[in-house]
Amino acid sequence: MVTKVLCVAEKPSIARAVAGHLAGENVQGRNIQGNNFTKNFEFDFNFPTWGPCSVVMTSVAGHLTSQDFAPEYKKWQSCDPAALFEAPIVNFVDEDRKPIAANIERQARYCQILYIWTDCDREGEHIGTEIRKTASDINPRLRQPGKTVRARFSNIERAHILNAARHPIPLDEAQADAVSARMELDLRIGSSYTRSLTLNVGNIIKQRMHSDDKQILSYGSCQFPTLGFVVERYFRVRNFVPETFWGIKVMHKKDDIDVSFRWARGHLFDRMVVVILFERCLTAKTARVTKMQTKPTSKWKPLPLTTVELQKCGSRFLRMDSQRVMQLAEQLYQKGWISYPRTETDQFDRAIDLRALITKQTQGQTPWTAFANGLLNGEFSNPRQGRNNDKAHPPIHPVNFVSPENLTVEEQRVHEFIVRRFLACCAKDAQGSKTEVSILYGPETFNTSGLIVLERNYLDVYPYDKWTSSQDLPNYREGDVFEPTEARIEDGKTSPPTYLTEPELIGLMDANGIGTDATMAEHIAKIKERQYVQTQARGAAPRQVDQDAESDFEDVADRTAPQARGRGRGRGRAGRGGAQRAVPQNQGMQEFIPTTLGVALVEGYDNMGLETSLSKPFLRKEMELKMKAICEGRMTRREVVQESLDQYRDVYIRAQRQLPVLHAAVRKYVFGEAG
């Protein structure tokens, strides 16, 4: 008897692609009852494990089920928000998902094998368990060992899909449990805090503004720390006080070349000390070369591409917000042009045939065709190995060739970046020659350097990195003595940090464990949607502090602060505090400015003096570590949920006792009241 296999993908586009590869032809799909986007594809396939099989390939559309509180707790005035930490939760299928669930039930009734084809990440594992429950409720045999399996794949290239189909693996129950725990925690924590905020603060704003609109102030355990980063930088900018500094600059003209020497001390904030040291230099009259060294140097090629890096680079180089970059990357993946775009891995497995992938990029007449051919003709170099490997997906890379004219303009830009990044990873480091000269002028040391780029290598295909030859240096020798052409004291002022840009914000979130590589863009979009922050092109509006103070010194004033390297619940209108402006993406780097409401919420909670502030990342970071512990089998779902709820409940109770502090912050920042 022929074995009947039901295959279920996470998205209709993946179902179509996989069905085409397994059927070996352009198989036609039939619309399911009640949903025009989901189709059933029927064909035969010979699975090594089960032999010749009759296959139905269909799909869901993301999560099949949702969860919410029992009906008696759903109305906002039905209970104290604190009760939501323990209120019963029910799972259900939304109305628009019922035709999809009914289709799975019909197809599962007589199948012997359920084959899950969801994305190979935590979320995909949980969606797989949702599909299994729906199918096994109708066909209990699918609960037996080996009757429900999943495919492990990271792109939809034909050979890769065929290999995945022939090597099924079990669902990862631990990863599914981690998602289940996170969903319950986000629902309970987000709902309790959101209701409390709205009832205690939103209603005050509504009354003061004489508005009939429902003012919902949402809270999320990732959303608020993300807002906290923006507000913290805002206050650093606003409270910045510039300081005057002084330094010594020495010039020497030799062989018709003007050479500028930097003071080894950089600069000092005591003018009298600088004057004394400067006079000692003048007294010496001559300077002596103490070091003359020329040595080879390199600029390393980039690491293989991760999701976080794609989002940061998309914002920095393509001038797209991170959410849009991920949407476009997902489209490219579903069309079969790139690998799975959600990965933490920055190292290629040695089993991957990189040369075969490069060969695909030699087709057509693209700007990188010649470079790809060069890699195959002797210029190839193994990619650098990063430190991260999620054991699920390789770094983001192109898996097939596509002519740019077959993509939308935005897709072209993201695709081009991914291809160029991949080719750069497979090229050689850029090579140069660096000359360093040090002189002793009186008691003080001064330095200069020059760079000559000898071989651009990866830079030829990766224009996002800059490395150019600098000043040409004359021929100095150790022991040479000369009289400087010019020496003078220069002054300058320290410059304020800039407001946070999206790459910086993503870096802070990544370093502090706020969200995952797949959800960071969602959290940033959420605080914009709630109007807790607004964005503007850098330099588009006057700053509150002087940002024009400049110095002639190359390395004196650091204009940016050092870079560091979940979901809440609540629907409705965004919070008050200033409309977010839509800025065309070609106007430059976007920076985040908190609205008055955003500042009020963060300051209000910070001023409560809680041991763990809700605007800081510590609670959420600890929760994310516990999710990882579930995946690794070190904690159970129940343990993580209970511990995390206890922590957030304790903070909630303490915050409720100090609501007047939050009200005072709202009056101060939103309504401009003193005191």
CA dist 578 and 596 (Å) reads: 7
CA dist 379 and 149 (Å) reads: 43
Place of tokens 């490219």: 332
Q: Tell me whether residue 669 is one of the annotated catalytic residues.
A: no
Calculate the alpha carbon distances from 314 to 223, 416, 483 in Å. Answer: 21, 11, 50
Q: Catalytic residue, from 340, 458, 476, 648: name it.
A: 340
The count of other CB atoms within 10 Å of the CB of residue 414 is 26
CA dist 34 and 611 (Å) reads: 52
DSSP letter, residue 82? G
Pairing of strands 113-117, 148-150: parallel
CA dist 418 and 462 (Å) reads: 10
CA dist 514 and 524 (Å) reads: 11
What residue ranges in 33-147 does DSSP mark as E strands? 35-47, 51-59, 66-69, 89-92, 113-117
- Give helix then strand counts, H and E, for the chain: 19, 17
Calculate the alpha carbon distances from 466 to 435, 456, 461 in Å. Answer: 19, 10, 12
The closest alpha carbon to 467, from 479, 454, 482, belongs to 454
Residue 522 one-letter amino acid: E
**Three-class HEC string of 372-401:** HHHHHHHHCCCCCCCCCCCCCCCCECECCC
Q: Are 306 and 299 in contact (CB under 8 A)?
A: no
Please list the active-site residues.
340
